[in-house]
Chain A
Amino acid sequence: MLTILRKELVDYFTSIRCLVLFILVFIASAAAIYGAYYGIREASIDPGPVFIKLFTTGEDLPSLVVFIAMLVPIIGVALGFDAINGERSSGTLNRILSQPIYRDSVINGKFLAGIITLAIMIGAIILIVGGYGLRMIGVPPTAEEIIRIFIYFISAVIYGAFWMGLAILFSVLFRSLAVSLLFPMAIWILLGIPASVFNPYISFFVPAVSNSVSVQLMLMRLSPYFLFEEAYWVLLIPAWRGYGLLTTTTSSMLPNPLSLDQSLLIVWPQLTALIAITAVCFAISYVVFMRQEIRST
């Protein structure tokens, strides 16, 4: 499997696709630094940590976390959509499978290589923004902030892995590259539409829903998009308490920053759910791939 992992990594890093993604990543980080720089200057009277605001503040531009939330699915899908059917259509899959290796090492190797690539890309953004930000604002991060950013980094990688897993699943299921690219993209766009757009439809069919905040929240939490959004707000804005029923009723509370373990406690379910859907995606592709027959036609 290590051989496949290594080959896939080499493939990713020498491909034009990756170059384009990296350029995208750098543009996003540059924009985010710019936005954060002016944002922090103007308003930093709120209590709480300063350094971490680099990631969540934007002036007119969206902040870095919003950029990442948009970019990561694209990167994930771009890395995974041709994983299996690309090899199938180029005729390399049969050749590889006739070598003395276990069949699952092919899909495992690809998945792992994708995760490593994702981690490198996201890590690069965070480090670039962190590094330049440090120079500009001159406030070093506290230990707690570093931990928060690290957990955020991991959750972003898992989020990307979910999209990659989804793309790999479609690449196992469908022979056509176009289909396996369009399906996850369509899902991404669909989930990216704010839930409020669907509310009229949902309340039309199930009138009770529109009246209940918790049911709406539950519906929204079916979307990995929302799960990740909630996770990173809680992680990176210590004063944020999530979209729970409690917080909507107690909005008059003082916006004191939460301690790290309190924030973690809030996002624990979200992180677990993200890991779970990623695992499910991968598991389905794994099983389908293992059972798929190599046919003569």
Chain B
Amino acid sequence: MGKKIVVKTEGLTKKYDGVTVVDNLNLQVAENEVFGLLGPNGAGKTTTILMLLGLTEPASGTAQVYGFDSTREPLKVKRLAGYLPEKVGFYDTLTARENLRFITELNNIGYAESEPLIEQVLKSVGLGEVGDKTVNKFSRGMKQRLGIADVLVKKPKVAFLDEPTAGLDPEGINQIIDLIANLPKTGTTVVFSSHRLYEVQRVCHSIGILSKGKMVVEGSLDEVGRDALAEGRYRIEVETAEPSPQLVKVIKKIKGVRKVEAEGKVLRITADSDLRAEISKAVVQSGMALIQVKIQEFSLDDIYMKYFHEG
């Protein structure tokens, strides 16, 4: 694709007390992309992010951010990368603004530059009004948005967001997702982990699904969809008065049909494209009474579930 790869791991492995948490992980994220790291709890998502940031040392393999080795040059990586931990915390007695100012100071951003920056970032996450309130009065959603502000205020080239939507209400999730979707426009590559698929589906350009520390699928959304659903993308359910083996044979002959399963009065057909017209025609022509035809497009959800079951 000719895009610049900015986050990269090669054979990344991590063991905790003899248990392999991340297993020989190879990952690539292109610049100005939103990459979704998917996986169930305990799949190694957080550990992978910690290693990319140089907070945890890998047992073997390398992690690189913008060409800097995260283990050997953590400071250079940390200068470029923002990190939103899973359980983000702030100094409760300080105001939102003071919390952010502390981060700009740690990043050596001068006062003249940091003040307007903090103001702008607070506004962009919708906390402009409450910037001078102490954080202990904040709701979970507000804290999470402050967490995003905390990442943005250092103007990172890469943002690592660990489960940014965990524990939020639907409204809060939407706000966070919208914020994430806008990041690449300002030149920030995003790697974010989640175990909720529909969020990832909404904003990510590419995804990687982790299961037990292994990358089971990686690629752009389209690619992943195509690969995972090699056996067909559409599922059509046909209900007839009384299905016969004869009918199953006829339907199987239709071009594009991959699989037909009979279950009571319902035929489940897996197909490459929307074949409702052809199928209903075939049913009617074979003299059956057609009761109902339903179609379902495979979503990433199915892909996700498929790997989870396999994992």
Beyond A101-B78, A101-B106, A296-B21, 7 additional pairs, beta carbon < 8 A: A90-B91, A94-B55, A94-B85, A95-B83, A95-B150, A98-B53, A293-B56
- CB-based contact B93/A11 at 8 Å: yes
Residues of A within 8 A of B261 (CB): none
A135 within 8 A of B: no
Which residues of A94-153 have CB atoms within 8 Å of chain B's CB atoms? Answer: 94-102
A203 within 8 A of B: no
Contacting residue for B102 out of A3, A94, A98, CB 8 A: A3
Where the two chains meet, the residues of B that have a C-beta atom closer than 8 Å to any C-beta of A are 16, 21, 46-47, 50, 53, 55-57, 75-76, 78-79, 81-83, 85-93, 102-103, 105-108, 150, 154
Distance in angstroms from A244 CB to nearest chain B CB is: 50
Contacting residue for B106 out of A3, A91, A94, A295, CB 8 A: A3
Supposing A3-B106, A295-B56, A296-B46 touch, asked if A98 and B81 sit within 8 A by C-beta, the answer is yes
Distance in angstroms from B174 CB to nearest chain A CB is: 24
- Contact flags A1-34 to B (C-beta < 8 A → 1, else 0): 0011001000100110000000000000000000
Distance in angstroms from B45 CB to nearest chain A CB is: 8
Residues of B within 8 A of A14 (CB): 93
A208 within 8 A of B: no
- CB-based contact A94/B83 at 8 Å: yes
Quick one: closest B residue to A90, CB to CB?
Answer: B89
Residues of A within 8 A of B55 (CB): 94, 97-98, 294
CA distance A90 to B94 in the complex (A): 13
A199 within 8 A of B: no
A214 within 8 A of B: no
A256 within 8 A of B: no
Residues of A within 8 A of B88 (CB): 91, 95
- CB-based contact B75/A102 at 8 Å: yes
Quick one: closest B residue to A99, CB to CB?
Answer: B106
Contacting residue for B92 out of A3, A90, A94, CB 8 A: A90
Quick one: closest B residue to A89, CB to CB?
Answer: B89
A–B complex contacts, Cβ < 8 Å, 14 sampled:
A3-B106, A4-B106, A11-B91, A91-B87, A95-B83, A98-B53, A98-B55, A98-B78, A99-B103, A100-B107, A100-B108, A101-B75, A295-B50, A296-B46
Residues of B within 8 A of A15 (CB): 93
- CB-based contact A99/B78 at 8 Å: yes
Distance in angstroms from B23 CB to nearest chain A CB is: 15
Residues of B within 8 A of A94 (CB): 55, 83, 85
A247 within 8 A of B: no
Q: How many A-B residue pairs have CB under 8 A?
A: 70
Residues of A within 8 A of B89 (CB): 90-92, 95
Quick one: closest B residue to A6, CB to CB?
Answer: B105
Residues of B within 8 A of A92 (CB): 89-91
- CB-based contact B78/A296 at 8 Å: no
Residues of A within 8 A of B47 (CB): 295-296
Supposing A15-B93, A92-B90 touch, asked if A3 and B105 sit within 8 A by C-beta, the answer is yes
Number of interface residues of A (CB under 8 A): 22
Supposing A90-B92, A92-B91 touch, asked if A99 and B107 sit within 8 A by C-beta, the answer is yes
- Contact flags A66-102 to B (C-beta < 8 A → 1, else 0): 0000000000000000000000001110111111111
- CB-based contact A295/B16 at 8 Å: yes
- CB-based contact B102/A294 at 8 Å: no
Quick one: closest B residue to A4, CB to CB?
Answer: B106
Distance in angstroms from A4 CB to nearest chain B CB is: 8
CA distance A4 to B107 in the complex (A): 12
Residues of B within 8 A of A296 (CB): 21, 46-47, 50, 86
Quick one: closest B residue to A7, CB to CB?
Answer: B102
Residues of B within 8 A of A97 (CB): 55
Task: Please indicate which of the listed interface residues B92, B102, B103 has the most CB atoms of chain A within 10 Å of its own CB.
Answer: B102
Residues of A within 8 A of B81 (CB): 98
Residues of A within 8 A of B92 (CB): 90
- CB-based contact B105/A98 at 8 Å: no
Residues of B within 8 A of A295 (CB): 16, 47, 50, 56
Residues of A within 8 A of B108 (CB): 100
Residues of B within 8 A of A4 (CB): 106
CA distance A177 to B78 in the complex (A): 29
Residues of B within 8 A of A294 (CB): 50, 55-56
CA distance A96 to B85 in the complex (A): 11
CA distance A102 to B56 in the complex (A): 14
CA distance A102 to B154 in the complex (A): 17
Distance in angstroms from B159 CB to nearest chain A CB is: 11
Distance in angstroms from A96 CB to nearest chain B CB is: 7
CA distance A296 to B108 in the complex (A): 28
- Contact flags A260-297 to B (C-beta < 8 A → 1, else 0): 00000000000000000000000000000000011110
Residues of A within 8 A of B82 (CB): 98
Distance in angstroms from A248 CB to nearest chain B CB is: 53
Which residues of A169-212 have CB atoms within 8 Å of chain B's CB atoms? Answer: none
Quick one: closest B residue to A1, CB to CB?
Answer: B106
Residues of A within 8 A of B50 (CB): 294-296
Residues of A within 8 A of B78 (CB): 98-101
